[in-house]
Structure 1
Amino acid sequence: MAVVTVSAENFRRELSRLLNRVGYSGDHVLVKRHGEEIAVVVPVDLYQELDLSRWAKPVENNGSTQPASGPFFPVEEVASLAGEIEAARVDAGISYEMLSEGLRAERLRTLREKYPDYAARHETS
């Protein structure tokens, strides 16, 4: 088994060949767009071994069952994680204002890093 990394553009161009590698050789294909990993194609037997029930929840939609968009976490797990995060924030002495400013600064840093032209045109001092 090999892990083959391809760009999204090459993935579209080479789809048939890559599917053959996955289906017949058991290779995994990692797809990247703009350097960011966005998808993995794995053999169906590996996919079937995954416990997807923890991450996907069927929902009723116009009479047909469709998978939920995004990951599904049990309510108890979300509540527990939220409590842990809040306790860590309080223990560290971080106020909501500090948290808000930190998030704003990180959003701006990411915008400048990933979209410098857009940031230069839209950023206010």
Structure 2
Amino acid sequence: MGAREARQKFSELIGRVHYGGETVILESSGKPMAAVVPIDMYRQMMEERDARFERLEKMKESRPAFSEEEVEADIAEALAAVRGRNVTSGT
């Protein structure tokens, strides 16, 4: 739905989303700009997002800590190995 039409039919738009359960994509010059979704869908998306962030935080907390020097040494070793393979393969 175009932004101009959405402004003109705002009450109808809200009714379609709330009572009809529709998701409406708002466009400007044919380009999608925003979505109007039922509140239950929005809440579910936010709960799922929060759960993913919680899992990510738990993963970050459980991973071993490496010093900057250890990381740089691993990177240097990996680069040397790749460069060595490229030299022997002729690339």
Q: TM-score, normalised by structure 2?
A: 0.51
Distance (whole Å) between structure 2 residues aligned to residue 33 and residue 53 of structure 1: 30
Matching of residue 45 in structure 1 with residue 25 in structure 2: no
Cα shift at 1:53: 3.4
Bigger radius of gyration among the two: 2
* TM-score, normalised with respect to structure 1: 0.38
Deviations 1:39-61 (A, max 9, x none): 1101111111113438xxxxxxx
The share of aligned pairs that are identical, in percent, is 31
Aligned residues: 54
Q: Structure 2: how far apart are the matches of 1:21 and 1:7?
A: 15
Structure 1 unaligned spans of 5+: 1-5, 55-73, 77-125
| Residues 56-79 of structure 1, C-alpha deviations (whole Å, 9 max, x = no match) | xxxxxxxxxxxxxxxxxx8x8xxx
Q: RMSD of the alignment, in Å?
A: 2.6
The residue identity in structure 1 corresponding to 2:39 is V
Alignment pair present for 1:19 and 2:2: no
* Distance (Å, rounded) in 2 between the aligned partners of 1:29 and 1:52: 21
Distance (whole Å) between structure 2 residues aligned to residue 52 and residue 34 of structure 1:
30
Following superposition, the deviation at residue 37 of structure 1 comes to: 0.2
Unaligned segments of structure 2, at least 5 residues: 52-56, 61-91
Q: Distance in 1 between matches of 2:33 and 2:49?
A: 18
Q: Which residue of 2 aligns with 1:114?
A: none
Partner of 1:31: 26
Q: How does 1:69-88 map to 2 (within 5 A)?
A: none
Query: Which of structures 1 and 2 has the larger relative contact order (alpha carbons within 8 angstroms, sep 6+)?
Result: 2
Structure with higher helix content: 2
